[in-house]
């Protein structure tokens, strides 16, 4: 390679960028709720176990892979074995599809930042969010027009992302000096405000009172592992890409410990902000905390706005602080996912960074338009649910197998130890080769069973088929295509055809088409091979 690879300006630049990627909206709106639901304070035990036995070891693996190969995810995997390149593409495409809607959530935050000035949502925040702001249609089939406030916010988000990644890690390294500490500072202000409100103690009791019995429930452990994979942004090629811009002699394992601990520390802190204010909301409205508790979008855009309006003084200021915090929390996760795609593109095509930046952001913007329509909320919910359930867990599994068995866990560990401040023992090999894959397989099986058993949120089957299974399988198909892996691709497409036909027509038609595809399609493939010139030459000899 003639061209010199970009480099982080400093170790802090890299570590902050990785922390920025890991610390996102999930830390505020997912962790506190999961903790409350799964045993309160007792949940910290499985959570820490998951962090140490799966989160940090996988983070070390991704850092090590990017650092050793000095390339984005697809090329890094192809350097282990040409056949495994698709794992990298899979990760990148999964991350890319997430950022198409993650940016739309950022757009909502932009709008709400402005609404905070006058507390525009009024007394009924739910009605405002659903009916006035999103003007949600009656179902995913009724797209309706694009909501222009969302579109404006989306444009603002993508322009910000373009400007931030303009010069790659050189500019990213500077931006994270602001976008990582600032939300933490704002979070601390929210915690101080929260715990000084009446009812806060009651809220915190809900968050942290341990229920040790919960530890005997396997689902609680599963929730802990699920949350750890999600929160560290593992399995999207981000950490591989970021580590590939590290100079040859730089630490790996200590950086992974720092990233993991700061990320989980932020989640823990966010719980204080969220539950103290939930306690206040319950106190003011005369309800129980369990009645006002919520997570995800409804926590950010309904529960919090409701609470902010009820604050005794300076309510608009706290509105601004809250939404500015969400924006700065989310933006560095969003551009990290874009960076993973850009790094992959740069390895593959010799085009300028500017062109790839524009191309990636442009496509993501256009794809995001669907989430700006009046049915956007439905589609966002469906896509989000499926990708997060499948993407990262399956990709994490393949990563472990590729490094653990094809490349060799011991070989990678020796490499890590040769540069790192914390030396890893053989325990790491065990985790990567055996323990983590077993946990990941259990997680995948459990979530697939769940997805199949009950239609998610009672959405119509066709919508789940397109936005859920369709998108998840399309990502895998595109990854196989990028790696020119025809056999698995054909098998995948056959299964997809079968499922689609089976749902839309009768079982008999589906089986007829399936039989034709396998038998005659297979026959065609074999016949094609007989026509290869080499074979004919050999026969003539």
Site residues (vs ligand PHE, CB under 6 A): 22, 24-27, 98, 230-231, 233, 236, 333
Per-residue tokens: 66: 């990017």
Q: Considering the complex, what minimum distance in angstroms separates the CB of residue 31 from ligand PHE?
A: 8
- Which sign, positive or negative, has the C-alpha torsion 327, 332, 336, 338? positive
Reading phi first (left if > 0) and then psi (alpha if -120 to 50, else beta), residue 71 is in: beta
Least separation in angstroms between residue 396's CB and ligand PHE is 12
CA dist 411 → 426, 430, 473 (Å): 11, 13, 33
CB of 334 to ligand PHE, least distance (A): 8
> Nearer to ligand PHE by C-beta: 381 or 429?
381
Residue closer to ligand PHE (CB basis): 175 or 197: 175
Among all chains, which residue has been given the structure tokens 């005369």? 286
Nearer to ligand PHE, 25 or 54 (CB): 25
Checking phi first, is residue 296 left (phi over 0); if not, alpha (psi -120 to 50) or beta? left
In Å, what is the CA distance from 272 to each residue of 11, 91, 267, 298? 30, 33, 9, 18
Q: Please tell me the number of Cα atoms within 13 Å of 349 on its side-chain side.
A: 12
- Cβ-contact 244, 69 below 8 angstroms: yes
Least spacing, CB of residue 98 vs ligand PHE, in Å:
5
Closest to ligand PHE by CB, 187 vs 282, is: 187
Nearest to 360 by CA among 379, 341, 386, 340: 341
Please report how close the Cβ of residue 343 comes to ligand PHE at its closest, in angstroms.
16
Q: How far is the CB of 22 from ligand PHE (least distance, A)?
A: 5
Shorter beta-carbon distance to ligand PHE: residue 231 or 276: 231
User: Whole-angstrom Cα distance, residue 457 to residue 451?
Assistant: 10
Helices then strands, each counted (H, E), the chain: 30, 0
Per-residue exposure over 318-345, b if at least 16 CB sit within 10 Å of its own CB, e if not: bbbbbbbbbbbbbbbbbbbbbbbbbbbb
Residue 287 main-chain phi, psi, to 5 deg: -105, 170
Query: C-beta of 500: minimal distance to ligand PHE in Å?
Result: 27
Q: How near is the Cβ of 339 to ligand PHE at its closest, in Å?
A: 12
């Amino acid at each position: 390679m003639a061209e010199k690879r970009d480099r982080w300006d400093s170790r802090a630049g890299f570590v902050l960028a990785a922390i920025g990627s890991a610390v996102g909206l999930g830390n505020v709106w997912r962790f506190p709720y999961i903790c409350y639901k799964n045993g309160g304070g007792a949940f910290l035990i499985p959570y820490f176990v998951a962090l140490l036995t799966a989160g940090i070891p996988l983070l070390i693996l991704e850092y090590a892979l990017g650092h050793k190969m000095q390339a984005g995810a697809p090329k890094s995997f192809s350097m282990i074995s040409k056949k495994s390149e698709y794992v990298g593409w899979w990760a990148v495409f999964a991350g890319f599809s997430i950022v198409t809607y993650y940016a739309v959530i950022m757009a909502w935050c932009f709008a709400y930042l402005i609404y905070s000035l006058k507390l525009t949502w009024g007394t009924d925040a739910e009605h405002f969010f659903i009916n006035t702001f999103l003007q949600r249609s009656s179902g995913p089939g009724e797209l309706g027009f694009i909501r222009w406030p969302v579109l404006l916010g989306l444009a603002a988000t993508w322009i910000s992302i373009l400007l931030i990644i303009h010069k790659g890690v050189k500019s990213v390294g500077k931006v994270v000096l602001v976008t990582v500490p600032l939300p933490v500072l704002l979070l601390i202000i929210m915690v101080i405000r929260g715990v000084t409100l009446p009812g806060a103690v009651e809220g915190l009791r809900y968050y942290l009172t341990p229920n040790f019995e919960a530890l005997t429930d396997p689902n609680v452990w599963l929730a802990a592992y699920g949350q750890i994979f999600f929160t560290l942004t593992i399995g999207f090629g981000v950490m591989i890409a970021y580590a590939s811009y590290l100079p040859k002699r730089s630490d790996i394992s200590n950086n992974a410990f720092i990233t993991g601990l700061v990320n989980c520390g932020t989640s823990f802190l966010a719980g204080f902000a969220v539950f103290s204010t939930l306690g206040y909301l319950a106190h003011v409205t005369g309800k129980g905390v369990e009645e006002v508790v919520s997570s995800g979008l409804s926590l950010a855009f309904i529960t919090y706005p409701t609470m902010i309006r009820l604050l005794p003084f300076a309510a608009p200021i706290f509105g601004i602080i809250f939404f500015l915090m969400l924006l700065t929390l989310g933006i560095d996760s969003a551009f990290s996912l874009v960076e993973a795609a850009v790094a992959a593109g740069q390895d593959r095509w010799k085009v300028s960074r500017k062109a790839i930046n524009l191309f990636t952001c442009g496509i993501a913007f256009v794809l995001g338009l669907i989430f700006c329509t009046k049915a956007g909320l439905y589609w966002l919910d469906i896509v989000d649910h499926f990708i997060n359930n499948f993407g990262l867990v399956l990709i994490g599994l393949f990563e472990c197998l590729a490094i653990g068995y094809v490349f060799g866990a011991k070989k990678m560990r020796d490499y890590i130890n040769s540069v790192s401040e914390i030396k890893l023992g053989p325990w790491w090999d065990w985790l990567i080769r055996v323990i983590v894959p077993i946990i990941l397989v259990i997680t995948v099986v459990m979530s697939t069973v769940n997805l199949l058993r009950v239609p998610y949120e009672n959405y119509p089957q066709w919508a789940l088929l397109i936005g859920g299974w369709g998108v998840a399988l399309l990502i895998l198909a595109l990854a196989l295509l990028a790696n020119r892996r025809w056999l698995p691709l054909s098998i995948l497409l056959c299964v997809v055809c079968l499922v689609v036909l089976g749902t839309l027509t009768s079982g008999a038609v589906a089986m007829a088409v399936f039989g034709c595809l396998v038998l005659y399609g297979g026959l065609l493939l074999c016949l094609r091979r007989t026509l290869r010139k080499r074979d004919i030459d050999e026969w003539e000899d």
